[in-house]
Each structure stands twice: as C-alpha cells, then as structure tokens.
Chain A
Amino acid sequence: MSDVASATGDLRDTNLDGPALSARLGRVWGTRRGLLGALATVDHKIIGRRYIVTAFLFLFLGGLTALVMRLQLARPESGLVGPDTYNQLFTMHGSTMMFLFGVPIGEAMAVYLVPLMVGTRNIAFPRLNAFSYWVYLSGGLFLWVSFLLNIGPDVGWFAYVPLSGPEYSPGKRADTWAQMITFTELSGLAVAIEIIVTVLKQRAPGMTLDRIPVFVWALFVNSFIIVFALPAVMLASTFLILDRLVGTHLFNPAEGGDALLYQHLFWFFGHPEVYIIFLPGTAFVSAIIPTFARRETFGYLALVLSLIATGFLSFGLWVHHMFVTGLPQLGAAFFTASSMLIAIPNGLQIFCWIATLWDGRPVWRTPLLFVAGFFFIFVAGGLSGIMLASVPIDTQVHDTYFVVAHFHYVLIGGNVFPLIGAIYYWFPKFTGRLLSERLGAWNFWLTFVGFNVAFFPMHISGLMGMPRRVYTYGPEMGWGHLQLLSTAGALILFAGFLVFAWNVIASLRRGDVAGANPWNSGTLEWATASPPPPQNFDRIPLVTHREPLWAERGGLPVVTGLSVGHRELVVSSVAEAEPQLRETSPAPSIWPLAAAIAVGVTFIGSIFTPYAVLWGALPIAAALTGWFWPKTAAEDEE
C-alpha cells in the first residue's frame, strides 16, 4: 500500500472520476483474494456478513434445541430425552438465543449497515471489529462443541448460584457457561464501542444529530446499553468462575457470601439485555415503515427521545425478575412502578409508527408484512409484561409457562419478526438480488401462524399451574393437550424458517437483480451499488436532509479531496458533523485473528487451571504487539 502512495504522491479523488475513481478506490479498500486475505480482512461488510450468517446459524441451532424440547413435552411422561439432556437443552437454548443470537444479531446488522447509513467507508477500529467477530465465533463454537462432548452447561441460561456453584455443579459444565459469557462479553463490548465511535465521529458531513436515521439512533443507544450492561454479567460470571476455580466464597452464604448478589448482578445485565435485543428490532421497524408507508417518519424527535428514555429506564427494572425472592416490599413496589413506566416510551414509539402508516400509502411487500406481524405479537407481549411488572400478579405467574409465553412474544415479536423483515429489506443491498416475494408470503404466514399456535397456549398452560424448565409432567396435571398444541405450532414455525432458508439460498443465485435502490428508500445505504463496493462510496455524500435520497432527487452533493492512494476517511464533529480531519483507516491484518486465538485458548485453558491466565498472557501480548506495531500513518508524513 505504501508503494502505491509513494508512487502516486498524494493522489486525491479530485484528480479522478467515474469508473477510474471507482476502480482505484476498490483496489485500495479491497480485500485480497485467497484464504489469507479472507482471514485478514477488515472490511465491515465482509465481517458484518459473517456476523449475520453466524448469528443465523446459532438461531437455527437454538431453534433445533427448542424443537427437541417441544417434542419431549408434546405428551406427558415422554421418554424422548431424560432430565440430564433436557436440562442441557434448555440451557443451550437460552444461552444460544440470548448470547449467541440475540445480542450479536443486532450488532451484526449494525456492523454492516451503520457505516453505510452514516456515509463512511469503514467502521471505526476495523481490526477490533475483525477481532470481535473471531472471539464471538470461538465462544459459540466452544459452547456447542462442549455440548456435543456432553459437557454442555445444564444450569439454565441464568446459572443461578448455588446451583451453578462448586458444590452443586461439579465438573466443567458451569465453567463452560461462564467462559462462554466472557467470550460474548468481549466481542459485544468491542462492537458497541466501534458503533458508538462510528456514529459520533464518522458521520458524513452535514449529518447533524437531527439527521441521523432512527435506525442508527436505535443502534447507537443500544451500544450504550451494551457498554453499561455487559460488565455486570461479566462480574457475575467472573465471580462464579472464581468461586468455582479459585475457592472464593463470594456467593456462598455459609461463608458470608450472598446468593442473591448473583441475581442482582445477573439481572442488572439481564433486563437491559431484553432491550439490547429489542432496540435493533425498533431500528429495523423504523427503517422499514417510512420506506413502505411512502412517507417520512412521523415524530422523529419523539422516536429518538423514547429510544434514549428506554435506554435509561432499562437499567431501573431488573428487580422485577426477583419479585419472589423476598426483597423488601416497598423496594419491590418501586420496581413495579419503573417497569410499568417503560410502557410510556414504548407506547409512544408504537403510536408514532402507526401515525406514519396512517398518513402514508402502505406498499405490501414482505418487509412490511413482517412489521405488521411485529405489531400484533410485540404489543401483546408488551402488555402481558405489564402484568408481570405487578408484584402480586407476578407471584402467581413467575417461572411458569405464562412467562415463557410472554417473553417469546416480546423477543420473537420484538426482534425476530422485524429481523426477518429486515433481511427481506436489505438482502438486495447485501447480495444484489431480491428475495422471492411469493416465498416471502409463505414465510410470513407460516411463521406468524406457527408462532401464535406455539406460544399463545403457553399462557394458559402457565395459568393451569405448569412451571418452567420441567422435563416432564404427569398425565394427571391436565397440560397434555395444550402442550401438544404448542408442539404443533412449533413445527409450523420451524417450517416457516425452512421456507426462509430456502428463499435465501434460492434467491442468492436466481433472485431478481436489485439495482442500487430497489425499494426507493431515502437513506444513504441505498445511494451506493448493491452489493456496495469495498470503499462503500466513491465520494463521501454531503447530507442535507434526514432522508437524503428523497430530498436530493437529482443526485447527492458530495465531499471531495480524499486520498485515493491509501485508506482515508472523513472524521467529523460530534453534533454538527462538520468535517474535521482526513484520517487513515487501518489496513487488513492477520493479527486480530492471532489475538483472538490466543485469547480463546487462554479463556478455555483457565477452566482447567488458573495458570492458563498467566501463560496465556504471553501469546496475547505477542499478538497485540504485532497488531499495534508502529507504522507511520500517511497523514503524519504530511
């Protein structure tokens, strides 16, 4: 790269135009062919695509575990799986869906889309981005390989002590869970910081705070929630590992520890986690609705403020997971009030979206279909959440199938439906081809009907006294018919996902060619080719409106003067997005992968001996030295 720079001097994009500029930038920002090139890439689109595909694979695996559980519960006293396998299955299901799908999928979509939507050429800290993907992948593989080796965790995705402590969970199963958390933590935090910095400092000139797309706002707020929430669960899992491996007694009441401390730490993360999963859903909905309502978003300011309010309030609700642990009643009542309070910003969002549709001209393509499904399901889940916020009602329905129904309405309704809609929406951007609308309709109706048949009856199962996390039940309990119905629904739901998978695979090769902006959308990611070239934009757009492509029908004004000799992007001011600097963006490197391997081996090794941390520090230090080896940046030579 430095050869090119020295040979061409300081060649700027003002000296080139059209295909010549495009080709030159493509070479500078491109990823080299071959395995090494693929492993060393720092292109946010390639890494984002990997992230998305990996998260969907974990969604599929998590779905399979759910299917086995549903088959086991289809009839009383079924012997399909035993208690040991069943307990591993629901632990794997919860852990996979929460840590390997729920958190990563929002970040994955953000990694791909946020740089495009704010009009920059790569994410901030691209090598960290590569590193975080590798860490995420290795954490997921670690968990699933452990499961296949029959040392998968069996203590629930929440791993409450003392059950997960050294005395009641001998062996390595709970350690596997705790270290998987550490992997997820690390990658989740890293991506959150990249998103925050990208949004704050890399927005295209002119994209003032009030021109940032709601999608980007949602993922930006989400990243802050991640930054503040994940350290709490890291503390919980680290304390757990210390109790288990080093012999501390942080959670051992017999030695002055406290079992409830763990729950506080866990849910201080665990409740914001729900919003970490839901806010990307609101991001997708906020992007899909204006495009398909053919009207700009109603209540932009209200939407942004409600996102921020949700972000703050999400940290004041955690105790509603602990209403039956015997906490002081007045304190518990406070959390009833705060849990119900969050209905206000969420209600406001729903009203704004409906108002946008109301004043628009809805175009019924698959993405909007999924958004309609989102409204139907998520609003129901949100409202049953208000019941759970009430301490007295919660004492009856807590830890029953009513809660299982509730949070699947919230999470599948609030995340997965918008997500599938989002994939239909952005698939043409990712791949250059449209997904089939005919299969899309099948996909939607199977998923929608299957979901409701599977999960609505669970409300009633819960009210009939069925607790969660039971591997079997007696015929005399009278839950058999409803459970069978839920299983039938789960099979239909699964069929819906198979149609989705088939649609994706088939459309990759045979889908209609999309063009740059197939839906006639207004945001910046549609201003570039589908799929976008390595440099994203030949020239950085100048933003004059919240929906630049709708406001500037004659073509976007652009910023010029960036180097085409090396990777250079624009750094802009936080509030007004005034261009401040031309900054070099890091080139591909294999070191992030090496660092991820070193870190992964250390984490896994530490399950077996604390000395792994000591010895693992050496390869980690070596990898980081390689990664950060000082190089003279182009702008420093000037």
Chain B
Amino acid sequence: MSARGSARRALALGLALPLAGCTFVQSPLDPVSPQARDLLWLFWLFSAVLAAIWLAVMLALLASFRARRAETADPLAIDPRRERRATALVAGLTVATGLVVLVLTGLSYAGQRRLFGDEAARVTIRVIGHQWWWEVQYEDPEPSRGFTTANEIHVPVGVPVRLTLDSTDVIHSFWVPSLTGKQDLIPGRTNAIHFTAERPGLYRGQCAEFCGMQHAKMGLLVIAEDEESFDRWRRGQAAPRPEPGSDEARAGEAAFVAAPCSLCHQVRGTAAAGRNGPELTHVGSRRTLAAGTLPMSRGNLAAWIVDPHGIKPGVNMPLVRLDPDQLNTVSAYLEGLK
C-alpha cells in the first residue's frame, strides 16, 4: 500500500472512530519519528545494561546468604587473607561501577546531542499552553497564510517540524511520546522541540506537567499526513470560516455572535473575535472537543455547551444559557465549521 493510501486509511479510520481504541498511539514504545526511535533505543540499551547489573547484585546477595563462619565464631574474628581478597573485589567492583557510569554518561550525551541538535525545519508551529487546552499557531512568512487553531496539530510526513513552546498562564508540558520527548511550556520562556513524523497517523499526546484542576483532560492530537493533504488542510484552515450553508447554520451563527460565546472565541469572517478560548473558525474539522475530552459531533457540541462543568469540572468555559432552539442551531453551526 502506498504511503498516501495508508494515510487516507488512517484518516478515514480516524474520522470514523475518533476516540475508540487503536486509532491513535500515545506511547514511547511506539515511535514514529527518528527522534522517538533513537530515544527508545537508548532506553532499551540502558534497561539491558542496568537489568544485568541488578541480576548480578541479586545473585551475589543470594550467594552471600550461605553461612561461611562457624556458629560460635567471634564476630570480631577476621581472616586477613579473606579480608584482603574481599577488599580487592569490592574495590574492583567500585571501579567497574565508575566505568559503567562513564560509558552510560557518554551514550546519554551523544543521544542528547542528536535529540537537541540543530535541524533546518520546514514547518514551524507555535504552541501555547492554556489551562486546559492548547493554542496552535501556524506561522508563515506571508501573514495571510498564517492561522491559529487549537488542540490538533497537523504535520506533513517526512518533513522536519519545529515546535516553539510557551505558556500564558501556568507551566504545562508538551508530550506526544510517539514523536519525541516532552518539553515544558513556561510563562516567560520559549522552548523548542523538533521531530519528523515518518508514518501517517494519529498520535495522541497530553500535558505532562501538573497544571491545575483539569490537568488530566488536556490532551491533543498530532495528525501526520502526506504533504498534499497537509497543504490542502493548511489552505483550508487559513481561509475564513465557510459561509453558513443552511438557514439553521445562519441562525446558529447569529446566535453565536450575539451570545457571550463571541467574547472568548474567534470565528474568522464573523464579528466573533474573542481570544480567551480556543479559536473556532474550523472547529468542525477537528476530531475532538475540549482538548481531547470528547469526540467531535453535533451532540457532543451541544452537551459541552450545556454543561461544560459536568464534563470537565473547573474548566474556564462558563455556562452560557441558550434556549433549546439556540443550542440546536449553534451546535449545528459549529459542527458545520469545517
């Protein structure tokens, strides 16, 4: 199967079963980038060496349980010859410990150089941590091609990607284990990581630094797809929201803009221009809602609007009272923002 074929298959699967098992991976044991593979290799290497040491120590311990002196022996009676041998052995083992540590330090440093080495990235994405969602800004030399989205990062397969990481509130940590190790998002500082996704697919990540009440529900998805699909997606995201195609959607848009929703959320192409919450211009094209908490669907959008604190207690989204008609049309409208 061609790479593009498997990408489509993965995407189709992803669309059909957004959060059901096996459609995504979130594990350092499933690397899909040279960086993550390198880290896994280093991990197994260390594990093998250290497990062998542990085993050797345990065997020595077991052997030491044998009684080697008479029951009546004076505890202060020491055989000088045995003592010298033991001293030499302990000294030798200590030196050996030093050598093992030296080699492991060298391997670690080499791995660190590879992980954080400079690499010319073709795609640069700025990720800003918020309590409890991810703002994602695609930067472009040409401003009209730049855009902002949330909780979902698309990257082209086989292309080096650089993420710059910062935060506007508390410390978060960006971790998509299949792609690379984690890095903190710290207010007042900018960190960066880079990776190259090798296979199309959905790679889940989540915040790894405790960031308050809903730290547990601060997930994100990285979607790696072939360059053609990525460019198509990127063009689509840079465009303003699609014109509402039905009366229902038009009513929904009107209600959305008139309601307090527009104070926090932006939908490009409308008067809604709030920047406190996630950007919603193409929210309907995302696979999840509320930072990986719910699969995207009209029903879930409605459920979220009606009771954000039931689904994600402590979330900053306030309860906005909409009458049933408004709720209906607003969810239809948002779902239609592909």
A residues bordering B, Cβ < 8 Å? Answer: 82-84, 87, 154-156, 160, 162-163, 167-168, 253-254, 258-260, 290, 294-296, 298-299, 302, 324-326, 329, 332-333, 336-337, 340-341, 343-344, 347-348, 350-352, 354-355, 357-362, 372, 375-376, 379-380, 383-384, 386-387, 389-400, 463-465, 467-478, 522, 545, 547, 550-551
B63 touches A358 (CB 8 A): yes
Check A324–B173 contact: CB distance below 8 A: yes
Contact in complex: B170, A162 (CB < 8 Å):
yes
Rounded to whole angstroms, the CA-CA distance of A156 and B212 in the bound complex is: 9
B116-129 interface bits toward A, Cβ cutoff 8 Å, 1 = contact, 0 = none: 10000000000000
B90 on interface, CB distance cutoff 8 Å: yes
Which of A294, A360, A465 contacts B177 (CB under 8 A)? Answer: A465
Whether A156 and B210, one on each chain, are in contact in the complex, defined by CB atoms closer than 8 angstroms, is yes
Within 8 Å CB of A344, what residues of B?
94, 97-98, 101
Determine whether B5 belongs to the interface, using a CB cutoff of 8 Å to chain A. no
Chain A residues positioned under 8 Å from B64 (CB to CB): 354-355, 357-358, 362
A residues within 8 A CB of B181? 324, 392, 394-396, 398
Inter-chain contact A354/B104, CB cutoff 8 Å: no
Closest to A352 in B: B90
Could you say which residues of chain A place their CB within 8 Å of the CB of B51?
383
Rounded to whole Å, the gap between the CB of B311 and the closest CB of chain A is 11
The CA of A449 and the CA of B79, in the complex, are separated in Å by 38
Contact between B82 and A359, CB atoms less than 8 A apart: yes
On chain B, the residues within 8 Å of A475 by CB distance are: 21
Bound Cα distance from A347 to B82, whole angstroms: 21
Residue pair B28, A465 in contact (C-beta under 8 Å): yes
Q: Considering only CB atoms and an 8 Å cut-off, how many residues of chain B contact the other chain?
A: 94
Query: A294 to B93, Cβ gap below 8 A?
Result: no
- Bound-state CA distance A361–B67 (Å) is 4
Closest residue of chain B to A291 (Cβ to Cβ) is B75
Whose C-beta in chain A lies nearest to the C-beta of B36?
Answer: A396
Does B54 lie at the interface of the complex (its beta carbon under 8 Å from any beta carbon of A)?
A: yes
**Chain A, residue nearest B186 (CB):** A259
- The residues of B that contact A333 with a CB separation of less than 8 Å are 108-109, 112
Extra pairs beyond A348-B94, A397-B43 (15, CB < 8 Å): A168-B170, A253-B187, A325-B186, A325-B189, A326-B189, A326-B191, A355-B86, A360-B69, A361-B69, A379-B57, A391-B108, A393-B39, A468-B210, A469-B216, A472-B216
Query: Which secondary structure dominates where chain B touches chain A?
Result: mixed
Complex CA gap A298/B57 in Å reads 17
Interface residue from A163, A258, A389, A400 paired with B211 (Cβ < 8 Å): A163
Min CB–CB distance A370 → chain B (angstroms): 14
Query: Which chain A residue has the least Cβ–Cβ distance from B176?
Result: A465
What is the CA–CA distance of A461 and B175 in the complex, to the nearest angstrom?
15
- Chain B residues lying within 8 Å of A358, measured Cβ to Cβ, are 60, 63-64, 68, 86
Tell yes or no: B226 within 8 A of A by CB: no
The contact sample of 6 A-B pairs, CB cut-off 8 A, is A168-B131, A324-B182, A325-B191, A360-B69, A399-B182, A469-B215
Structural contact, A395 and B188, CB atoms closer than 8 A: no
Contact of B184 (CB < 8 Å), options: A167, A326, A360, A397: A326
- Known A295-B69, A383-B50; contact A393-B42, beta-carbon cutoff 8 A: yes
User: Cβ of B247: which chain A residues have Cβ within 8 Å of it?
Assistant: none
Residues of A contacting B79 in the complex (Cβ-Cβ under 8 angstroms): 359
Whether B215 and A383, one on each chain, are in contact in the complex, defined by CB atoms closer than 8 angstroms, is no
Q: Which residues of A contact B29 (CB under 8 A)?
A: 463-464
Residues 53-92 of B, flagged 1 when their CB comes within 8 A of A and 0 if not, give 1100110110111011111011110110011001101100
User: For residue A389, which residues in chain B have a CB less than 8 angstroms away from its CB?
Assistant: 108
The 3 closest A-B pairs by CB, nearest first: A395-B181, A253-B188, A326-B191
Asked whether any CB of chain A lies closer than 8 Å to the CB of B6, the reply is no
Residue B19 is within 8 A (CB to CB) of chain A in the complex: yes
Q: In the complex, which residue of chain A has the Cβ closest to the Cβ of B82? A: A359
Residues of A within 8 A of B188 (CB): 253-254, 258-259
Distance in Å from the Cβ of A596 to the closest Cβ of chain B? 33
